[in-house]
């Protein structure tokens, strides 16, 4: 690893950090610095990708100490896929943010110039934290990274400065903090039992009460952070009331950090038994149903999208649970695909929802129509993202659901297939509410020769949503990347 | 030995009792005071467990600065004063049933954790042997500092990043907030500040320097210096103005930036990131610690002050 | 009978503090009280870690958990500051709109 | 001629690629849009002819893109695919011409033609799908592309119809997804192979195979409007006339019927299906649907709803022919796929002309329309007579083969069914013709303000397709007629057992 | 000898602290409590510091302990002053009779 200097793993974490510092120091140039930093990070990730493809899993012992004394960074296919996806989404959302925070008008909350200046440092810190989580191989480091993410995410959630956003942001802060502290206590229990902090230390540890307590704590904490039903209470308001680019980052990326750590724990584990897995599946089912029903009842577009996040998170938990203990080495792939699919689609969808709200001035679903001024492209992006989230072919979401159901069926777990189907039906129902609204014009009195909402700002959501659909065709290569370095052992 | 054990039992019981009392206090001011006292006792407990660094950090940051932050917020909520009769009440009725169920669940979970704790093996060898082995190459002689600034320097960098994130978010949130009229503290306090602040600055520097070989270090020193700045803010010796903003921003990021730059800078030629050349390890660690101390002090003071300084005259701000 | 060492005493006390904090977070309605309850949780987790680091007297304690807890304390004060800023901002917005 | 292995993909991309361009074109550039539409449709017909030519000369087209390990997106051009592609390409050209006239100065033409194009792309994909997985992909795309067309008018009624349509078809799509998954899980492949892929599974787990058959047929039956899954079709009549024409003649309903053909012949294999005992119930469902649709059609006053119920009835002829499980019946079924398409599209376009030109939307208003619009009504009448099954028109040919097939399969009652159905056809179509030709227009209708001259764009297409009806009936035995082509296909499916 | 003196000072100091604490808990109003606390604790602190300084290994250590005493005394005096000032401004009853 010493031939490349400095190593791309550290760069993937530190480049956004330097970007955040620069953007904080020079608020006026923040957008340019931010985009530059994201591109630079993407370049580092590309180099990293090259190395991973060549060498499989890469470890970097920071400080030269190596685990267990020092902290190691670890990059394999799963991490690489997440890194690449995160960079992609950050780029898309960043470009979307250029437009979202343009202008000088103050809309109820913070003035735009200020939001523009503060979005970038926070976004880049978030990126630092996310990349740090993906590359981390150390439990305590994961906790610290989660806190970096938490604070940046809270800052993003309250960027708009409205009372609703602040209230939701505070509730989010508390939930996130509690989750992190549970994780911390869990780390304490792990240390009590094994005397080590690196994930590899978990692998050889014998089953014991302390480790069970540790896993229990970490599971609950991470479930709280990923808004697993019934610990989802904070998510809908926080995601719905943030400004669109912030919502996109929160929904697409932040919740994935917890899921990713869960995957890594499952990989390193002695993972808790069948009962816990089943419980995760049951709670995931609850999330799928409850999130779906609430999305059906939501009155605002962004709230609908936020509730759909709850439902989709539930589906990912079902994916983890679906094959039972012995199938875990396989089911993580479905979960990873669903994570990727949801991230891209949700980023595009929130950006699109934000554009729609910006152009027509509100996002009440019952009053959506084909008004004279309409954001046609944003609506197209919303529809494309919905296709992926519903899981219609050939989208990436479809591939994820296909792998989930295929595995569940092979394992004879038809109930998980039924849950997936039910979730799909619910998502059809709630997204149709919005899509129907885009197409109706029986109430429009304005002249029909409409102005089509062309704007450069529509490009990021359209591209992201298009990718969410189109990446399904690249599922083969994506799976190949995920299997690099064979996380979860050999390919069956 | 049994006397000490009894003392430990008493102290532990007081810590738990104070934690309970903190939550049960009806008045918010009393609650915060109880929390600060809890922090003091906790530090004592940590001293008993031979963790002086942690005890120092807890007193300075956990109890001290957190307490100051809490009190400042309470003053804001109550319209300038700390007594309950001024301004809005902070207590709200709670749903008894929900509270009961939650408490029950939390209690059960705690009992389960307690059982797991008792079931855990005692004195599992941790990483102390590794630390002892690596100490000669670490550049410092105090193990905690070695862990913080060398073995697990990456964590520490990220911890400073968390502080940076906090101050960014606080500045972002608190825009144009009406300034709470600072309490007039009178001449006695001013006199005290004149004497105490320079000495405290020296104490901070001492803590930083001694950290290499004895309990102390960047965080404790930063906390002391931060407290100096807080006292300065209170006594109006320090008055943040819009013109200070670039300087303030620079100070906030200096620690993080230098830390990360050093980490990257030492890499290459066969060395990993964060792998200081043995000959310069102590110098580099001291450099990092010094910058981090300054940043921590400034950041903590800014967290206490809250608002980003803006031109008050027009109420308009320029970013 | 479990040997009642210092570590056990403070570890159990830490768990109790964590549990109390948990109750407080779940049960309290006021913002400040919940925040303090979260701080109690952090303190409890820290106590468990420090207890895990303790070794019977001739041996010195494990310095790694000490470093972790210092990190935890700093992280917690950052989070507290952010939460307090949110509370202050919310309070002024709410009193503005209520009046 | 140069060899182009990507030809199927190019044919698919002509309409798939045109869709975003059409969507993006500004509303005002009507000429450009019309030109592009017609050009693409014409190019497509030409390409399909080329493809058919090459395929007939033994060139095998087989395109694969691996999506998941072992799971490919697979396009191919077997004779069955070619038949359906040709049908859709030709009828798309005609319908495009008709739509240009129909939507002249109407709102949201960009959207309409964009999704129209997408819809045809989906149909082509369905036709050329080489496995059930690919079929599923385009099946869902078809649902999504037709939804905006169904609710094109944007009224509350249209939205309601669209919602019902979407619920039916998406649930059907989910069932198909489940069925595809189950097929993948059971047989380890989703490929369409003449003779089927389920033989081993059926030998080991007959119950599972039966359940899979029911699931797949039910999933496809939603679009094929098998009773009781037909509920969406009459309601979807609120769509503009060209959409209805397309939905009934080529796209949605036929996609379902085509899927049933694929599943019965190339997933299960006809002998296996018979062996599993699942064809009997399918025949029963088809028979019930035929009678039920006809009976409901009798009672409808709205012309388009009457036509819709007629479709419910007529499309089930295809299912019936498939389920009868003999080569002769299969020829009838495949021929009817084409014949019914041509006949029904004529009738819908003619009905659209009546509504556009005379404001006539109900049967009771049809008095004397024959004299007001002789060309349109002539086309309508020709198609109606063919539909009833009068020789020598197209409908007669397919019904003849179905009846023969019934006898060959030992199911003589099929003749009675066909006779009864034809009588019902006559009962609901002849009154229309009677009113149109032999009654005088009511005075208020004659002076109705809605009366306007319809353009050639509208008038010509139904007459052209009516010409097709005549030609493919009369020249049924000529080389390259649909009937000959279906004979060729059936020979292949039944391993030359004709 | 020195050891005995140190222990005696320590015990005496603890006594002062106890007295101060009893005063804090039992006295009726802010000013009385403040009186008990500042006076008694100041004395207690001085004695404890003295005891610790006697036990210190070298002069430097003793000097540092002395410095601690000086600054804590200064701080507690200032703190007491501030509390009294605040209490007088806030104006709660000077003496309330506890039931």
Question: What integer pLDDT is reported at residue D447 of this predicted model?
Answer: 62
Inside any domain, residue D120: no
Q: Which residue of C has its CA nearest to A183?
A: C45
Q: Which of residues 214-273 of B touch A (CB under 8 A)?
A: 246, 249-250, 252-253, 256-257, 260, 263-264, 267-273
Question: What is the rounded CA–CA span in Å between residue D412 and residue D393?
Answer: 24
CB contact under 8 A, C66 and B147: yes
Question: What is the rounded CA–CA span in Å between residue A164 and residue B264?
Answer: 42
- For chains D and A, tell me whether 3 or more CB atom pairs sit within 8 A of each other: yes
Phi, psi of A491 (to 5 degrees): -75, 130
CB contact under 8 A, C86 and A169: yes
Cβ atoms B211, B221 nearer than 8 A: yes
Instruction: Find, among A346, A347, A343, A355, the residue nearest to A379 by Cα.
Output: A355
CB pairs under 8 A between A and D: 83
Inside any domain, residue D439: yes
β-strands A72-75, A58-61 pairing:
antiparallel
Q: Output B81 or A75, whichever has higher pLDDT.
A: A75
CB contact under 8 A, A188 and C52: yes
CB contact under 8 A, B131 and A69: yes
Inside any domain, residue E83: yes
β-strands D71-76, D62-68 pairing:
antiparallel
Q: Which residues pair with D63 in a beta bridge?
A: D75
Element housing D63 (H / E)? strand D62-68
B159 at the A interface (CB within 8 A)?
Answer: yes
- A29's tokens: 């140039």
Nearest to A473 among D67, D107, D171 (CB): D67
What pLDDT digit, counting tens, does each position of A208-221 carry? 888 888 988 999 99
CB contact under 8 A, B173 and A25: no
CB contact under 8 A, D137 and A393: yes
First to last CA, chain C: 62
Q: Which residue of C has its CA nearest to B64?
A: C77
CB pairs under 8 A between A and B: 177
CB contact under 8 A, A2 and B268: yes
Cβ atoms B37, C53 nearer than 8 A: no
Question: What is the rounded CA–CA span in Å between residue B165 and residue A16?
Answer: 13
> What does each C-alpha distance from A151 to A146, A172, A250, A363, D371 come to in angstroms?
9, 10, 12, 28, 79
Dihedral sign (CA C46, C47, C49, C53): positive
Read off the pTM. 0.89
What pLDDT digit, counting tens, does each position of A20-53 carry? 999 999 988 888 999 999 999 999 999 999 999 9
Element housing A128 (H / E)? helix A112-135
Largest interatomic CA distance in chain D:
71
Question: What is the rounded CA–CA span in Å between residue A471 and residue A344?
Answer: 10
- Preferred mutation among D30, D135, D137 to probe A, highest tally of A CBs within 10 A: D137
Touching subunits of E (3+ CB pairs, under 8 Å) are: B
Instruction: Find, among A380, A351, A239, the residue nearest to A303 by Cα.
Output: A239
Instruction: Find, among A376, A348, A380, A377, the residue nearest to A468 by Cα.
Output: A348
- D461's tokens: 């297409």
Question: What is the rounded CA–CA span in Å between residue D341 and residue D394?
Answer: 10
- pLDDT tops 50 at residue B69: yes
Question: What integer pLDDT is reported at residue A465 of this predicted model?
Answer: 93
Domain containing E9 equals 2-90
Angle (deg, nearest 10), helices C63-98 and C31-53: 180
Question: What is the rounded CA–CA span in Å between residue B4 and residue E81?
Answer: 36
Inside any domain, residue E29: yes
Question: What is the rounded CA–CA span in Å between residue B309 and residue A323?
Answer: 56
- pLDDT tops 50 at residue A461: yes
Q: Which residues pair with A58 in a beta bridge?
A: A75
Which positions ≥6 away from A375 have C-beta within 8 Å? A355, A356, A358, A359, A360, A453, A455, A458
- pLDDT tops 70 at residue A106: no
What pLDDT digit, counting tens, does each position of B111-168 carry? 999 988 888 887 778 888 888 888 888 888 899 999 999 999 999 999 999 999 999 9
Question: What is the rounded CA–CA span in Å between residue D320 and residue D315?
Answer: 9
Most confident among A355-359, C34-38, D4-8, E75-79 (mean pLDDT): C34-38
> Is the preceding omega at residue A230 within 30 degrees of 0, hence cis?
yes
- C35's tokens: 């925040």
Q: Which residue of C has its CA nearest to A178?
A: C38
Shortest distance, CA B188 to any CA of chain C (angstroms) = 29
Sketch the domain layout of chain C as residue ranges.
6-98
Question: What integer pLDDT is reported at residue A490 of this predicted model?
Answer: 53
B15 at the C interface (CB within 8 A)?
Answer: yes
Question: What is the rounded CA–CA span in Å between residue C63 and residue B152?
Answer: 11
Q: Which residues of C touch A187 (CB under 8 A)?
A: 49, 68
Inside any domain, residue E95: no
B192 at the E interface (CB within 8 A)?
Answer: yes
CB contact under 8 A, C35 and A174: yes
CB contact under 8 A, B272 and A189: no
Q: Which residue of A has its CA nearest to C24?
A: A178
Inside any domain, residue D174: no
Q: Which residue of C has its CA nearest to A141?
A: C68
Cβ atoms B226, B296 nearer than 8 A: yes
Question: What is the rounded CA–CA span in Å between residue B286 and residue B276?
Answer: 12
Question: Selecting from 3.30.1450.10, 2.40.160.60, 1.10.10.10, 1.10.287.3510, what CATH number does the domain C6-98 have?
Answer: 1.10.287.3510
Touching subunits of B (3+ CB pairs, under 8 Å) are: A, C, E
Q: Which residues of E touch B188 (CB under 8 A)?
A: 78, 81-82
CB pairs under 8 A between A and C: 75
Q: Is residue A442 very low, low, confident or very high in pLDDT (cuts 50, 70, 90)?
A: low
Q: Is residue A327 very low, low, confident or very high in pLDDT (cuts 50, 70, 90)?
A: low
Q: Which residues pair with A74 in a beta bridge?
A: A59
Cβ atoms D157, D96 nearer than 8 A: no
Question: What integer pLDDT is reported at residue D362 of this predicted model?
Answer: 82
What pLDDT digit, counting tens, does each position of E43-81 carry? 888 888 888 888 777 888 888 888 888 888 888 888 888
Q: Which residue of D has its CA nearest to A393?
A: D137
Cβ atoms B53, C66 nearer than 8 A: yes
Question: What is the rounded CA–CA span in Å between residue A57 and residue A68?
Answer: 18
Min mean pLDDT across A261-275, B20-34, D111-125, D132-146 is at A261-275
Shortest distance, CA A444 to any CA of chain D (angstroms) = 10
Dihedral sign (CA D181, D183, D186, D190): negative
Question: What is the rounded CA–CA span in Å between residue A258 and residue A251?
Answer: 12
Domain containing D409 equals 278-498
Please give the average per-residue pLDDT across B62-88, as a whole number: 74
β-strands A58-61, D71-76 pairing:
unpaired
D26 at the A interface (CB within 8 A)?
Answer: yes
Instruction: Find, among C46, D23, D170, the residue nearest to A181 by Cα.
Output: C46
CB contact under 8 A, A436 and D28: no
Q: Is residue A324 very low, low, confident or very high in pLDDT (cuts 50, 70, 90)?
A: low
- A426's tokens: 């619910």
Question: What integer pLDDT is reported at residue A14 of this predicted model?
Answer: 94
Tracing tokens 């997408």 back to the chain, one arrives at D118
Sketch the domain layout of chain A as residue ranges.
1-272, 275-492
Q: Which residues of B touch A141 (CB under 8 A)?
A: 154-155, 158
Question: What integer pLDDT is reported at residue A467 of this predicted model?
Answer: 92
Question: What is the rounded CA–CA span in Å between residue B65 and residue C72?
Answer: 14
Please provide the size of chain C in residues: 99
Q: What is the ipTM of this complex?
A: 0.87
Residue segments in chain D with a per-residue pLDDT below the cut of 70: 1-3, 105, 443-452, 493-498
Q: Which of residues 5-24 of B touch E (CB under 8 A)?
A: none
Please give the average per-residue pLDDT across B50-70, as a whole number: 89
Phi, psi of B113 (to 5 degrees): -65, -40
The upper half-sphere exposure of residue D73, i.e. CA atoms within 13 Å in the direction of its Cβ, equals 17
Inside any domain, residue D346: yes
D184 at the A interface (CB within 8 A)?
Answer: yes
Domain count, chain E: 1
CB contact under 8 A, B122 and C79: no
Q: Which residues of B touch E74 (CB under 8 A)?
A: 192, 195-196
Angle subtended at Cα B53 by Cα B51 and Cα B59, rounded to the nearest 5 degrees: 100
Question: What integer pLDDT is reported at residue A492 of this predicted model?
Answer: 46
Inside any domain, residue D73: no
CB pairs under 8 A between B and E: 25
Domain count, chain D: 1
Phi, psi of A188 (to 5 degrees): -55, -45
- Preferred mutation among A62, A194, A208 to probe B, highest tally of B CBs within 10 A: A62
> What DSSP string describes D333-368?
HHHHHHHHHHHHHHHHHHHHHHHHHH---BGGG-TT
D69 at the A interface (CB within 8 A)?
Answer: yes
- A370's tokens: 């084909």
Cβ atoms A18, B260 nearer than 8 A: yes
- pLDDT tops 60 at residue A1: no
């Amino acid at each position: 690893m010493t031939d490349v200097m400095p190593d791309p793993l550290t760069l993937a974490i530190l480049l956004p950090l330097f970007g955040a510092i620069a953007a904080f120091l020079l608020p006026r140039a923040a957008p340019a610095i931010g985009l530059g930093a994201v591109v630079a990070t993407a370049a580092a990730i590309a180099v990293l990708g090259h190395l991973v493809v060549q060498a499989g899993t890469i470890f970097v012992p920071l400080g030269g100490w190596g685990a267990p004394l020092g902290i190691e960074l670890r990059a394999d296919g799963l991490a690489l896929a997440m890194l690449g996806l995160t960079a992609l989404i950050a780029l898309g959302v960043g470009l979307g943010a250029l437009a979202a925070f343009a202008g000088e008008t103050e809309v109820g909350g913070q003035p735009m110039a200020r939001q523009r200046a503060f979005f970038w440092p926070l976004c880049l810190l978030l990126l630092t934290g996310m990349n740090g989580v993906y590359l981390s191989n150390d439990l305590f480091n994961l906790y610290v990274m989660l806190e970096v993410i938490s604070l940046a995410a809270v800052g993003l959630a309250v960027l708009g400065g409205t009372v609703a956003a602040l209230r939701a942001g505070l509730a989010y802060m508390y939930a996130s903090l509690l989750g992190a502290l549970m994780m911390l206590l869990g780390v304490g229990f792990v240390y009590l039992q094994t005397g080590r902090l690196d994930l590899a230390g978990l692998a050889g540890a014998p089953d014991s009460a302390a480790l069970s307590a540790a896993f229990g704590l970490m599971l609950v904490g991470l479930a709280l952070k990923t808004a697993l039903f019934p610990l989802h209470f904070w998510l809908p308001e926080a995601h719905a009331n943030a400004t669109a680019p912030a919502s996109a980052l929160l929904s697409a990326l932040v919740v994935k950090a917890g899921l990713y750590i869960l995957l890594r724990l499952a990989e390193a584990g002695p993972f808790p038994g069948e009962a816990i897995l089943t419980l995760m599946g049951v709670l995931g089912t609850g999330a799928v149903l409850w999130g779906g029903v609430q999305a059906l009842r939501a009155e605002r577009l962004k709230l609908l999208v936020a509730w759909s996040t709850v439902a989709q998170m539930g589906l990912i938990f079902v994916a983890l649970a679906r094959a039972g203990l012995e199938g875990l080495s396989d089911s993580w792939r479905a979960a990873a695909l669903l994570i990727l699919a949801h991230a891209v689609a949700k980023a595009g969808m929130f950006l699109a929802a934000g554009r729609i709200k910006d152009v027509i001035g509100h996002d009440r679903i019952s009053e959506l129509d084909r008004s004279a001024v309409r954001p046609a492209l944003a609506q197209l992006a919303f529809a494309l993202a919905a296709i992926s989230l519903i899981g219609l072919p050939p989208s990436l979401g479809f591939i994820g659901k296909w792998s989930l159901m295929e595995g569940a069926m092979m394992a004879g777990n038809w109930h998980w297939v039924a849950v997936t189907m039910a979730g799909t039906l619910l998502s059809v129902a709630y997204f149709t509410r919005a899509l129907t609204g885009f197409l109706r014009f029986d109430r429009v009195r304005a002249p029909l020769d409409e102005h089509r909402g062309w704007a450069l700002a529509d490009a990021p959501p359209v591209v992201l949503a298009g990718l969410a659909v189109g990446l399904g065709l690249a599922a083969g290569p994506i799976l190949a990347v995920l299997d690099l370095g064979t996380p979860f052992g050999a390919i069956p | 030995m049994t006397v000490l054990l009894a003392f430990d039992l008493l102290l532990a019981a007081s810590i738990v009792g104070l934690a309970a009392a903190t939550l049960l206090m009806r008045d918010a001011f009393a609650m915060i005071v109880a929390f600060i006292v809890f922090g003091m006792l906790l530090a004592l407990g940590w001293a008993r467990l031979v963790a002086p660094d942690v005890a120092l950090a807890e007193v300075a940051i956990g109890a001290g600065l957190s307490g100051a932050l809490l009190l400042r917020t309470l003053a804001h909520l109550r319209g300038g004063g700390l007594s309950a009769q001024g301004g809005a009440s902070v207590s709200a009725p709670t749903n008894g049933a929900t509270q009961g169920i939650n408490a029950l669940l939390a209690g059960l979970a705690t009992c389960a954790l307690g059982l797991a704790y008792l079931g855990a093996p005692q004195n599992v060898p941790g990483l102390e042997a590794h630390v002892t082995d690596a100490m000669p190459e670490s550049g410092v002689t105090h193990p905690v500092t070695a862990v913080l600034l060398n073995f697990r320097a990456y964590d520490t960098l990220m911890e400073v990043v968390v502080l940076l994130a906090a101050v960014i978010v606080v500045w972002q949130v608190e825009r144009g907030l009406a300034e709470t009229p600072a309490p007039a503290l009178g001449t006695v306090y001013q006199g005290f500040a004149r004497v105490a602040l320079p000495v405290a600055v020296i104490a901070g520097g001492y803590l930083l320097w001694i950290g290499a070989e004895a309990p102390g270090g960047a965080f404790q020193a930063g906390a002391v210096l931060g407290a100096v700045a807080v006292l300065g803010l209170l006594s109006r010796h320090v008055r943040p103005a819009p013109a200070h903003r670039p300087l303030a921003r620079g100070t906030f990021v200096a620690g993080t930036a230098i830390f990360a730059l050093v980490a990257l800078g030492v890499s290459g030629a066969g060395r990993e990131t964060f792998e200081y050349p043995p000959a310069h390890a102590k110098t580099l660690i001291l450099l990092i610690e010094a910058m981090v101390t300054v940043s921590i002090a400034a950041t903590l003071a800014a967290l206490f002050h809250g608002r980003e300084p803006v031109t008050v005259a027009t109420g308009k701000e320029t970013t | 009978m479990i040997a009642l060492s210092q570590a056990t005493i403070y570890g159990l006390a830490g768990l109790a503090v964590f549990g109390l904090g948990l109750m407080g977070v779940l049960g309290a309605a006021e913002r400040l009280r919940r925040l303090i309850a979260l701080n109690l949780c952090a303190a409890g987790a820290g106590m468990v870690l420090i207890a895990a680091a303790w070794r019977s007297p001739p041996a010195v304690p494990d310095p790694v958990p000490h470093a972790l807890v210092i990190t935890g304390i700093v992280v917690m004060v950052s989070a507290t500051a952010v939460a307090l800023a949110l509370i202050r901002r919310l309070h002024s917005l709410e009193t503005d709109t209520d009046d | 001629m140069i060899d182009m292995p990507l030809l199927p993909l190019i044919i698919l991309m002509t309409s798939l690629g045109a869709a975003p361009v059409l969507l993006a074109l500004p509303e005002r550039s009507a000429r450009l849009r019309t030109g592009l539409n017609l050009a693409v449709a014409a190019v497509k017909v030409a390409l399909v002819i080329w493809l058919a030519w090459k395929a007939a000369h033994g060139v095998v087209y087989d395109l694969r893109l691996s999506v998941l390990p072992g799971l490919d997106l697979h396009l191919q051009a077997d004779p069955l695919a070619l038949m359906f592609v040709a049908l859709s390409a030709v009828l798309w050209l005609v319908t495009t011409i008709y739509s240009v006239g129909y939507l002249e100065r109407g709102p949201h033409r960009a959207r309409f033609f964009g999704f129209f194009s997408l819809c045809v792309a989906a149909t082509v994909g369905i036709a050329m799908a080489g496995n059930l997985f690919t079929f599923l992909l385009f099946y869902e795309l078809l649902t999504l592309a037709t939804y905006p067309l169904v609710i094109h008018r944007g009224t509350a009624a249209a939205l309601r119809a669209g919602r019902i349509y979407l619920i039916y078809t998406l649930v059907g799509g989910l069932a198909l997804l489940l069925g595809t998954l189950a097929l993948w899980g059971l047989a380890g492949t989703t490929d369409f192979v003449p003779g089927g892929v389920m033989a081993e599974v059926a030998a080991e787990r007959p119950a599972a195979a039966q359940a899979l058959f029911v699931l797949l047929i039910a999933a496809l039956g939603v679009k094929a409007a098998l009773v009781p899954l037909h509920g969406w079709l009459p309601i979807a009549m609120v769509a503009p006339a060209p959409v209805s024409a397309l939905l009934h003649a080529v796209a949605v309903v036929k996609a379902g019927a085509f899927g049933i053909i694929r599943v019965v012949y190339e997933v299960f294999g006809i002998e296996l299906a018979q062996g599993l005992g699942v064809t009997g119930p399918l025949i029963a469902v088809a028979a019930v649907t035929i009678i039920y649709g006809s009976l409901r059609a009798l009672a409808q006053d709205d012309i388009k709803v009457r036509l819709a119920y007629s479709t419910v009835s007529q499309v089930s002829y295809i299912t019936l022919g498939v389920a009868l499980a003999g080569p002769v019946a299969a020829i009838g079924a495949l021929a009817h796929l084409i014949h019914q398409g041509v006949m029904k599209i004529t009738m819908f376009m003619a009905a659209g002309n009546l509504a556009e030109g005379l404001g006539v939307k109900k049967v009771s208003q049809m008095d004397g329309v024959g004299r007001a619009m002789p060309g349109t009504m002539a086309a309508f009448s020709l198609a109606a007579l063919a539909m009833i099954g009068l020789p020598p028109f197209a409908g007669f040919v397919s019904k003849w083969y179905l009846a023969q097939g019934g006898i060959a399969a030992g199911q003589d009652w099929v003749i009675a069914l066909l006779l009864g159905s034809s009588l019902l056809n006559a009962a609901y179509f002849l009154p229309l013709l009677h009113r149109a030709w032999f009654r005088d227009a009511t005075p208020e209708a004659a002076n109705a303000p809605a009366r306007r001259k319809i353009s050639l764009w509208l008038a010509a297409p139904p007459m052209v397709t009516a010409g097709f009806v005549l030609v493919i009936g009369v020249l049924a035995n000529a080389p390259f007629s649909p009937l000959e082509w279906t004979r060729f296909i059936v020979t292949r499916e039944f391993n030359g057992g004709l | 000898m020195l050891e005995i003196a140190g222990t005696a000072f320590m015990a005496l100091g603890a006594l002062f602290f106890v007295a101060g604490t009893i005063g804090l808990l039992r006295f009726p109003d802010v000013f009385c409590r403040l009186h008990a606390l500042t006076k008694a604790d100041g004395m207690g602190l001085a004695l404890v510091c003295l005891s610790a300084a006697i036990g210190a290994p070298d002069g430097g250590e003793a000097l540092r302990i002395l410095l601690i005493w000086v600054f804590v005394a200064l701080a507690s005096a200032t703190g007491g002053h501030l509390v009294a000032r605040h209490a007088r401004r806030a104006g709660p009853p000077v003496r309330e009779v506890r039931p």
